[in-house]
Chain A
Amino acid sequence: MKSKPLKLTHVKCCVCQSDDATPVGVGEDYEYHTSADTFLAVQCAACGLVYLNPRPDISGFEWIYPPTYHAFDFSEKDFGIVYKIRARLEAKRLLSWCKDLPIDARILDVGCGDGFHLNLLKKYGKETWTLEGVDLDKRAVEMAEKLGLKVHLGTPETINLPKDSFDLAFMVQTIEHVEQPSEILAAIKNALKRGGKLIIVTDNTDSLDFRFFKGGYWGGYHFPRHWNLFNQNALARLAENVGFEVADLTTQVSPVNWVYSIHNALVDWHAPRFLINRFTLKSTVSLSAFTSLDILLQKLGKGALLRVILRKS
């Protein structure tokens, strides 16, 4: 399905405001086919940030996130064993981030989608914790509310979050989607207590999957929904610009970009549907195989995702 063209906006690097950037990838919406446009990813010469330029205007938000978008309904019913495994791994990760939190901790999930992570904390975390989410999409908010979660519709900088009140905030695969990362980080910093932490997980452009597929098929591009993609340097600079202290910066295992890079290449090379379907979020075999590969790469410090722990000092 080819659809209407989007209104596009030209932008500069959101980390260093430079526009000295080189094209690295060109491609289409290989997953949802939401627009008739071809998109260009460029890399900033100063900080290494990879960003979509031009990118869809924010007015096209609902168009580029169709109702079938996976973050709106990542359910056990639809994703079966993959859901179960991911839920277990993510719960383990989340709880490790929360291990030093006080009994009455207040936790914020920014870009919570359908409430997947908050729901895990609700299930496996302490009952005394206060859990809140924020998401820009009303469909996602509705899904999360169905799980009994408290979710704000909007973005951290527009919903008047209370000052100095959260112990922990996290953005799991969210920062790459947002329009103004530094403004969101500043709003979160304002809402965190002194000593509070913000944990960001996002696609890593200093990875082997990026190097292999950066010409256009890389899953992390997620054309045209990922607007800013980081390496360690760019992410640290962004955080420091906002006034956060970088407590830890490392990589994390994920098979998703490997699987989707192959998926996108197969779509573009007109591979048969049964083969393409072997490389989606529902394909356990390819997800397992690339998890194994990424575990090895993680040991070399080159996992597919970046994870940074920031502290408000």
Chain B
Amino acid sequence: MKNETPIAIIGAGIAGLTAANYLHKQNVPFVLYEAGKKIAGLAASFKDAEGFSYDFGAHFITNRLAAAIGVSSECLLVKHYGEAVYLGGKIYNYPFGLVKIPRMTWSGIKSKLKGNGHAPESAAEWFRRSYGAALADEVALPLIEAWSGAKATDLSAAVGESLPGSIGKTLYLKAASRVLGRAVAIGYNREMPEGANVHHVYPEKGVSTLCEKLAEGIADKIKLETPVEEIIVENERVVAVKAKGETTEVSAVVSTAPANILAKLVKGTNTLEKFKSFRYRPMIFVNLRFDGRGLLPDTVLWFPENEFPFFRLTEATLSMPWLAPEGKTIITVDIGCEKGDEFWEMDEDKLSALCLEHLTKIIPGAKEKFLGANVLRTPIAYPVFLNEYEAARKDFEQSTGIENLLSIGRNGEFAHIFMEDVYWRTRKKVRNLIENF
């Protein structure tokens, strides 16, 4: 590319930094705008004075991603990762433990025998057809509804279609995981193939290690505390960005902003208007610190029944023991909410007391073991695939509609993608952008 006008990248999280790192290596001029005081975005890490670490956002990193970025030696092996489901007061290993419940197995077989008719019109239909009515109605759909805040009948079938893998492959990878003594990545990357030698690792100092590596050598091109206020489009091409009141001419924009916010930032065209209605699910993460380890039966415990205010608990130390001091642990409670609802407004003490109250039903003596808590609230945790804007979402999957405007990253793509997907997809998209210039 001969053009000396820079490309503007919006957001210095893993996606924005991957784009910046790529452009830097290609000697393409760019400026990276970051609204916050420091880089890393959703991939930021915090460590408190007592030695507890908290990562905000994505936790799934593979050895392949670590190798690609060049941080594998700074990562530790994740020896185990597992999920379980709490159902009727009992705990079932996920997914194969649920096979022990005859009605679930039977309805699963029935749904397979029935075959396919027309294409499923909603997530509800997709899951009933793929998993059988019992597993869909008692486990999958309640979880999806709690997670998205929408009725499964209002959600697009694409929610299910993005779920991974065949049963045979999953069984093989699970067996490999057990024999090899490491958490083989099952369903946590979609861009690249799974295999017994692709497994989870985790940076000793938290996920921000990846961002710091990607940011090497480009510090002078990162503008911190500089939110982009407008993306100016003329004749259906981005020509400039406005930040801190100053307009800068740019050759393209690579944005990591949530799709609906991007649509609002763009001025001078109506092309992105239809993306303004995209919804993200706000989420509250309550990190509770406890004495002891192994308080949960596995790393993740799902709660499809609505007797709890949360739908998922995570004891990350069962996979990454170094995230808490020895003999102590953190349990993260995920509460789906809406901005301004009673949970969103609830103060930290009340939220942790509420969580603790419910946890005592699962962890005997939880209150006695409790050491403290902190709360993270995010208005944009997960994209919600509503059927009402499914056509627009499919368009957005292809492009923003403006040739020199890319939208990348988990929020930017409005897609259920994981960290490794973000890396490979971003590189591919940015390569295409500069090749097409």
When distances are taken between beta carbons in the complex, the residues of chain A under 8 Å from B193 are 215
When distances are taken between beta carbons in the complex, the residues of chain B under 8 Å from A6 are 73
When distances are taken between beta carbons in the complex, the residues of chain A under 8 Å from B196 are 215, 268
* Interface assignment of B74: CB less than 8 Å from any CB of chain A: yes
**Is the pair B197, A5 in contact by a Cβ cutoff of 8 Å?**
no
CB distance from A221 to the nearest CB of B (A): 11
Name which residue of chain A comes closest to B63, CB basis. Answer: A38
* Interface assignment of B180: CB less than 8 Å from any CB of chain A: yes
How far apart sit A54 and B214, CA to CA, in the bound complex (Å)?
13
When distances are taken between beta carbons in the complex, the residues of chain A under 8 Å from B118 are none
| Residues of B in contact, count (CB < 8 Å) | 23
* Interface assignment of A116: CB less than 8 Å from any CB of chain B: no
Residue in contact with A217 in the complex, picked from B72, B197, B424, CB distance below 8 Å = B197
Q: A19-B25, A37-B67, A39-B67 known; A270 and B73 CB under 8 Å? A: no
How far apart sit A36 and B67, CA to CA, in the bound complex (Å)?
11
Name which residue of chain A comes closest to B73, CB basis. Answer: A5
How far apart sit A27 and B364, CA to CA, in the bound complex (Å)?
43
Q: A26-B64, A270-B180 known; A20 and B197 CB under 8 Å? A: no
When distances are taken between beta carbons in the complex, the residues of chain B under 8 Å from A35 are 73
Q: Interface size class for chain A?
A: 20 to 34
* Interface assignment of A8: CB less than 8 Å from any CB of chain B: yes
**Is the pair B192, A23 in contact by a Cβ cutoff of 8 Å?**
yes
When distances are taken between beta carbons in the complex, the residues of chain A under 8 Å from B221 are none
When distances are taken between beta carbons in the complex, the residues of chain A under 8 Å from B424 are 23
How far apart sit A19 and B25, CA to CA, in the bound complex (Å)?
10
Name which residue of chain B comes closest to A25, CB basis. Answer: B197
How far apart sit A23 and B192, CA to CA, in the bound complex (Å)?
8
**Is the pair A40, B64 in contact by a Cβ cutoff of 8 Å?**
yes
How far apart sit A215 and B63, CA to CA, in the bound complex (Å)?
13
Residue in contact with A19 in the complex, picked from B70, B179, B431, CB distance below 8 Å = B431
Q: A10-B25, A35-B73, A37-B73 known; A23 and B180 CB under 8 Å? A: no
When distances are taken between beta carbons in the complex, the residues of chain A under 8 Å from B63 are 26, 38
Q: A5-B74, A37-B72, A270-B180 known; A26 and B25 CB under 8 Å? A: no
User: B interface, by DSSP: helix, strand, loop or mixed?
Assistant: helix
When distances are taken between beta carbons in the complex, the residues of chain B under 8 Å from A216 are 195, 197
* Interface assignment of B198: CB less than 8 Å from any CB of chain A: yes
When distances are taken between beta carbons in the complex, the residues of chain A under 8 Å from B431 are 19-20
**Is the pair A215, B73 in contact by a Cβ cutoff of 8 Å?**
no
**Is the pair B72, A38 in contact by a Cβ cutoff of 8 Å?**
yes
CB distance from B186 to the nearest CB of A (A): 15
**Is the pair A23, B74 in contact by a Cβ cutoff of 8 Å?**
no
Name which residue of chain A comes closest to B25, CB basis. Answer: A10
* Interface assignment of B66: CB less than 8 Å from any CB of chain A: yes
CB distance from A294 to the nearest CB of B (A): 24
**Is the pair B68, A40 in contact by a Cβ cutoff of 8 Å?**
yes
How far apart sit A36 and B73, CA to CA, in the bound complex (Å)?
5
Residue in contact with B180 in the complex, picked from A8, A37, A268, CB distance below 8 Å = A268
Most buried by A among B64, B66, B180, B198: B64
**Is the pair B198, A26 in contact by a Cβ cutoff of 8 Å?**
yes
Interface string of B43-68 (1 = CB under 8 A from A): 00000000000000000000110111
When distances are taken between beta carbons in the complex, the residues of chain A under 8 Å from B192 are 22-23
8 nearest A-B residue pairs (beta carbon): A5-B73, A216-B197, A38-B72, A40-B67, A38-B67, A36-B73, A8-B70, A26-B64
- What 5 additional pairs, Cβ within 8 angstroms, besides A10-B25, A26-B64, A216-B197? A19-B26, A22-B192, A38-B66, A40-B64, A215-B196
Q: Footprint of B on A, CB under 8 Å?
A: 4-6, 8, 10, 19-20, 22-23, 26-27, 35-40, 53-54, 215-217, 268-270
Q: What would 28 A/B residue contacts be, using CB atoms closer than 8 Å?
A: A5-B73, A6-B73, A10-B70, A19-B431, A20-B431, A22-B192, A23-B64, A26-B63, A26-B197, A26-B198, A36-B72, A36-B73, A37-B67, A37-B73, A38-B66, A38-B72, A39-B72, A40-B64, A40-B67, A53-B68, A54-B70, A215-B193, A215-B198, A216-B197, A268-B180, A268-B197, A269-B179, A270-B181
